[in-house]
Amino acid sequence: MASTANLGERHVRTARSAYLLLLLSLIWGTSFLLIKVSVETIPPFTAGAARASLAAIVLYGWLRLRGERMPPLGRAWLPFLALGVASNALPFAIIGWSEQHVDSGLAAILIALMPLFTVFLLQLTGREERMSVSRLAGIAVGLAGVVVLVGPDALGGFGTQVWAQIALVVAAISYAVGIFIATGLGRYSAAVKSVGTLSVGALYLIPMSLIFDSPWNLAPSALSVGAIVLLAVVATAVAAIAYFHLIATAGGAYTALSGYLTPVVAVAAGAVLLGEDVSARALLALAIILFGVALAGRRGRPQALAPPA
């Protein structure tokens, strides 16, 4: 009877993790479209600073309503300093700048390299259980789908567009480092992690905005401002809670699989709402990516966790 109850509880946790993974993929997939709209009239540093600041304020209000408090300033904030750069400041600025030169769908596709870097970091340090054969195969298949989707012509030529694509790969590495750091913050709630990370991200981005963007001279459109608000409240605040909860319950490697689902949403949203082209090769690649996610999501035989790093 006890084993049956445990099995049922495990299925519930698995289903909840799958729903959270899908939610994150939907939110982050559409966020590339919102970033594309926001940077039309708001420079990347200012857009990132506004996004992180507003999200931190919203989440801090929610945290206080829950009766929680942030840890006192000091050593406890050191992980947030690193996580704020890796998960917010650096990728927010890079993706915003890159989407001034490439389509939102291509940006999401290159960010889809994030799971590969995440798994490498987690396995290198023994932070999570060893990869099953099906998960390794799924990651390889998903990466193959990304290669098919990008293709040689999408990477052809040199210039600003290529530098933007290279920068997006750096952003993917940065997100992977962020997931790695987040797996070591188990003693804090998702709300505390979110507020700490976004507050630090905002503190990094605000000076960059003042130095490089001269925000007092900007005349942003209502559409760009609306995109920033949606990015802050939904794609950042809501997503941060789901992100940290998923890491705590399913692990960093599983959370990283959102990087393979996100481009599916991003390519579809870009095509429907921004008129970006979707080729037959893109549809084939998306099918390959989805198959890779299905493989990687399978659970193998239970294994003992490796000692913490």
Cα angle 223, 225, 231 (rounded to 5 degrees) comes to 100
Place of tokens 């293709």: 151
Average pLDDT over residues 13-37: 89
Report the range out of 59-68, 174-183, 294-303 with the highest average pLDDT: 59-68
Beta carbons of 192 and 68 less than 8 angstroms apart: yes
Q: pLDDT-derived band of residue 137, with 50, 70 and 90 as boundaries?
A: confident
Instruction: Look up residue 91 and give its amino acid.
Output: P
Beta carbons of 285 and 148 less than 8 angstroms apart: yes
Poorest-pLDDT segment among 43-47, 86-90, 156-160: 156-160
In three-state secondary structure terms, 302 is coil
Quote the tokens at residue 293. 């996610």
pTM above 0.85, yes or no: no
Decide if pLDDT at 69 tops 60: yes
Average pLDDT over residues 68-85: 90
- Give 281: exposed, middle or buried? Use CB within 10 Å, 0-12, 13-18, 19+: middle
For the chain, the domains span 27-296
Angle between helices 160-182 and 239-250 (to 10 degrees): 60
Mean pLDDT of the chain: 82
DSSP string, 119-153: HHHHHHHT-SPPPPHHHHHHHHHHHHHHHHHHHHH
Place of tokens 């890779």: 292
Rounded distance between C-alpha atoms, residue 275 and residue 224, angstroms: 18
Beta carbons of 115 and 257 less than 8 angstroms apart: yes
Decide if pLDDT at 120 tops 80: no
How many helices (H) and strands (E) the chain has is answered by 14, 0
Q: CA nearest 42: which of 159, 217, 161, 261?
A: 217
Decide if pLDDT at 256 tops 60: yes
Quote the tokens at residue 13. 């946790």
Decide if pLDDT at 17 tops 60: yes
Q: pLDDT-derived band of residue 112, with 50, 70 and 90 as boundaries?
A: confident
Report the percentage of the chain scoring pLDDT > 90.
42
Poorest-pLDDT segment among 18-22, 111-115, 156-160, 292-296: 156-160
DSSP 70: P
Average pLDDT over residues 177-196: 86
The confidence score (pLDDT) of residue 5 equals 44
Rounded distance between C-alpha atoms, residue 231 and residue 50, angstroms: 10
* CA distances from residue 153 to 148, 157, 274, 283 in whole angstroms, order as listed: 11, 8, 21, 16
